[in-house]
Structure 1
């Protein structure tokens, strides 16, 4: 069976094969293939590449000086910042080191000092997403806000919000330009809400990131150019992050905890893979293997491609719909879903 382009519906999973032992069987196959082992060489090489790119951006920033060409550097830094975020994501899932403490230390450095997000805030939010993907009540990634992800959210909103949601598919990509600002604001709220030692350390590192970032920019450039640099860097950073995460679950079935789905089916049926070659793997930080990543979160990024064949064949054998689509088709599916949700209230 070839992977289908159509998203599976919530009703399809109710009769899909047996339960209980399906994931355990697949997990044993993956372990026998050696795909859960650490990849220190892979991550050392990848880290060296990202470090070189970050250093090159910093050097270009200093050498170019007070010039509008700095906006090109800002765009390049948006790419590097996002890639550093992907690296921190891998650390958060303990893909890099065998030690949980080492993974956390790296994650905090990358997130708080390197990128400017709270690692503790993100790891809590992301773990809840992995445990309850597309669960309207428990998945923080589909909470109603600037966008409505379910018809229930749209129907429960006020008149002004419903009018906005009607056209939300058109606003999706422009809103992503503000995503980095939104994530930073959420990080600050999280760190300001408690005074435990970890949060204090995170707050200090985040403050050091912000202070160093602003001081360097305003020393090198005039205020107008520095502000333009910030707008381009942060806007493209948010856009890139959003474009990497948007194909993964948007438009896939919304499953509640009460619906009959075991772990295997819950993860597969709510996730969408993006097909492509190694360039897609790099650009999307391995998140294009969303099915495999959700089934085996601690699997090193470099092993996901090898696991895909095993998982896809296993899903076929157990009659579990497995969705894999092209990058632009994935965006089209997500936008169609947002459009259906936004227009549903007006049709009532």
Structure 2
């Protein structure tokens, strides 16, 4: 994985070294591991068991079609929650200090119909390095040509209404992931501008085998054991993934595409004139940071600032280290963006979609979203 894009202004990396020193001291002084604790393992058991129970109840063929449809929707939600709470931490190496444990629980990502190997490339490597940089971070390219988030992209007439149709499109993301995205990504020469070639042959085999296994478990087996027609099966599968995709999509969008977050563009020398950690703070926002429910179900991804700075720290510790990160950011005169509730974050995302669907390409690609909005998000 190589790219020529570089972060400069490394003299300002003192912010990150100071923050890291304080976070390390927190764990040492309190004799804590930065990995999973008892509460975290309880979450793992809860979400994995809930997923298995829902799947088993559907296959039991003891319920009405409406009841099975409701359980399919819940199954989609639990798949997203496993992605947030189990797979995500494991794939970042944050769940355990033992690599084999992380590898084992990384495989829970297959329950979403997705490839952990491809995710580690597109998310861990590319997104976490080049967050919100158009042309590099493909995670912000939700539906090219339909949803416009890059202010230098040509403005199309239908994008005037993207603040309305974007949300149903988010619901299709999981279905695209299962049926298309992983195949496309592993065969692409580049992810953004990052080289993406030379994958081991076993990863290609694993991708196709696990996809076939998923199709077997969620399409073939239900059709064989349930008293349903083919169209009813297709509808249940679609709705399950629509719910899963909507949950996954909203959590990501509310962390990166809200008022106040930057979408910086490289200079002509292909550099970002900022230190990496500063870039992470400027391109990321928290939402519902003090909500126990949001933290429990979103796997700490409602605290994306902490996650982007410390991806190898288990999310169960984010509430504790958040005060350290916020205080240090203020000391270095850096933004610490937060939307106090899910609703305010959703409203902020809606406003960005509306603005970007009506604003012509900027004269300067360096223009930040904060220059386009009338009421920027509050800064703690």
Tell me the TM-score range normalised by the shorter chain: 0.7 to 0.9
Q: Which runs of 5+ in 1 are unaligned?
A: 1-14, 156-161
Measured at CA, do residues 170 and 262 of structure 1 come closer, stay the same or move farther in structure 2, by a change above 3 Å? same
CA displacement at 1:230 relative to structure 2: 1.2
Map 1:1-348; keep pairs closer than 5 Å. 19-34=12-27, 37-61=34-58, 62-65=60-63, 67-86=65-84, 87-107=86-106, 109-112=107-110, 114-126=111-123, 127-143=125-141, 145=144, 146-155=146-155, 162-184=156-178, 185-190=180-185, 196-218=201-223, 219-223=225-229, 224-251=231-258, 252-257=261-266, 258-274=271-287, 275-325=289-339, 326-345=341-360
Contact 2:93 2:99 in 1 (8 A): yes
Measured at CA, do residues 347 and 132 of structure 1 come closer, stay the same or move farther in structure 2, by a change above 3 Å? closer
SS state of the match for residue 165, structure 1?
helix
TM-score by length of 1: 0.86
User: d(CA) in 1 for partners of 2:299 and 2:169?
Assistant: 22
User: d(CA) in 2 for partners of 1:177 and 1:283?
Assistant: 18
RMSD: 2.4
CA displacement at 1:136 relative to structure 2: 1.1
Contact 1:134 1:249 in 2 (8 A): yes
Structure 1 partner of 2:367:
none
Higher RCO (C-alpha under 8 Å, 6+ residues apart): 1
User: d(CA) in 2 for partners of 1:51 and 1:220?
Assistant: 23
CA displacement at 1:308 relative to structure 2: 0.6
Structure 1 partner of 2:194:
none
Larger mean Cα displacement after TM superposition, 140-149 or 127-136: 140-149
CA displacement at 1:67 relative to structure 2: 2.5
User: d(CA) in 1 for partners of 2:24 and 2:256?
Assistant: 26
Structure 1 partner of 2:193:
none
CA displacement at 1:323 relative to structure 2: 0.9
TM-score by length of 2: 0.80
Q: Deviations over 1:61-82 (max 9, x none)?
A: 1153452321111111011111
Q: Deviations over 1:164-223 (max 9, x none)?
A: 222111111111121112222111334567771123123212211111111232121312
Higher share in helix: 1
SS state of the match for residue 96, structure 2?
coil
Structure 2 partner of 1:3:
none
Contact 1:82 1:241 in 2 (8 A): yes
CA displacement at 1:106 relative to structure 2: 2.3
Paired residues, what number?
A: 326
Q: Which runs of 5+ in 2 are unaligned?
A: 1-8, 189-198, 364-380
Contact 2:153 2:361 in 1 (8 A): no
